[in-house]
Chain A
Amino acid sequence: MTDDAIMEKLTEVFRDVFDDASLSLTRATAARDIEEWDSLNQIRLLLACEKKFGIKLKPRDINSLADIGEMVDHLAKVIPG
Chain B
Amino acid sequence: MSVTELQTMLAEDWRTIPAEEVLKRAKRFAKDPQRTELGRKLKVAVLSGFLTDYLADILVLMLARRGIAAELWRGPYGVMAGAVLDEASALHSFGPELVLMLPSHRDLVRAPLTAVSAEEAQAAANTEGEAWRSLWGRLAVPVVQLTFDPPPARPLGELDGFSAGGLLNHVRCVNRSLAEKLPGHVALVDAEWLAGRVGFERWHDARLYDMCKQPFAFDALPTVADALAGAAAGLLGRGRKCLILDLDNTLWGGEVGDVGTAGITLGPETAEGAPFVVFQRYCKQLSQRGVVLAVCSKNSDAVARAPFMEHSAMVLSLDDIACFVANFEDKASGILQISKGLNLGLDAMVFADDHPVERAWVRKQLPEVQVVELPQDPAGFVRALDDCGAFPITRLTAEDFDRTKSYRLQAELAQQQTTIADMDDFLASLQPRVVVEPVTPSSLDRIVQIIAKTNQFKLNAQTFSAADIEKCAADVLAIRLVDKLQDYGIVAVAVTRPNGRCLHIDNWVMSCRVFSRRLEYATRELLARRATERGLPSLSLAYQPTSKNGLIAELLPRLGFIKNGAGDWIAPVDPPADVPAHHITIVGTQ
Contacts and interface: CB of A to CB of B under 8 A. Distances in A.
Contacts of A43: 208, 211-212
Contact of B54 (A16, A19, A40, A59): A40
Interface string B21-50: 000100110000000000000000000000
A47 interface: yes
Contact of A59 (B24, B53, B211, B218): B211
Interface of A: 16, 19, 39-40, 43-44, 47-48, 59
Contacts of B20: 16, 44, 48
Contacts of B212: 39-40, 43
Nearest to A48: B20
Contacts of B54: 40
Interface string B468-508: 00000000000000000000000000000000000000000
- Which of the four size classes fits the interface of chain B? 10 to 19
Interface string B215-257: 0001000000000000000000000000000000000000000
A16 B211 CA distance: 21
Contact of A19 (B27, B53, B211, B218): B27
Interface in B394-413: none
Nearest to A38: B53
Interface of B: 20, 24, 27-28, 53-54, 208, 211-212, 218
Chain B contact residues, majority secondary structure: helix
Contacts of B208: 43, 47
B58 to A, nearest CB: 13
Contacts of A40: 53-54, 212
Nearest to B31: A19
A19 B32 CA distance: 14
A47 B18 CA distance: 14
A40 B56 CA distance: 13
Contacts of A39: 212
A19 B20 CA distance: 10
The residue among B20, B28, B54, B208 with the most chain A CB atoms within 10 A of its own CB is B20
7 contacts: A16-B24, A19-B27, A40-B54, A43-B208, A43-B211, A47-B208, A47-B218
Nearest to A56: B207
Q: Which 8 A-B pairs have the closest CB atoms?
A: A19-B24, A40-B53, A59-B211, A43-B212, A43-B211, A19-B27, A19-B28, A40-B212
A43 B218 CA distance: 11
A55 to B, nearest CB: 14
A59 B211 CA distance: 8
A48 B211 CA distance: 15
A16 B24 CA distance: 8
B201 to A, nearest CB: 15
Contacts of A44: 20, 218
Contacts of A59: 211
A44 B214 CA distance: 12
A59 B212 CA distance: 11
Nearest to A59: B211
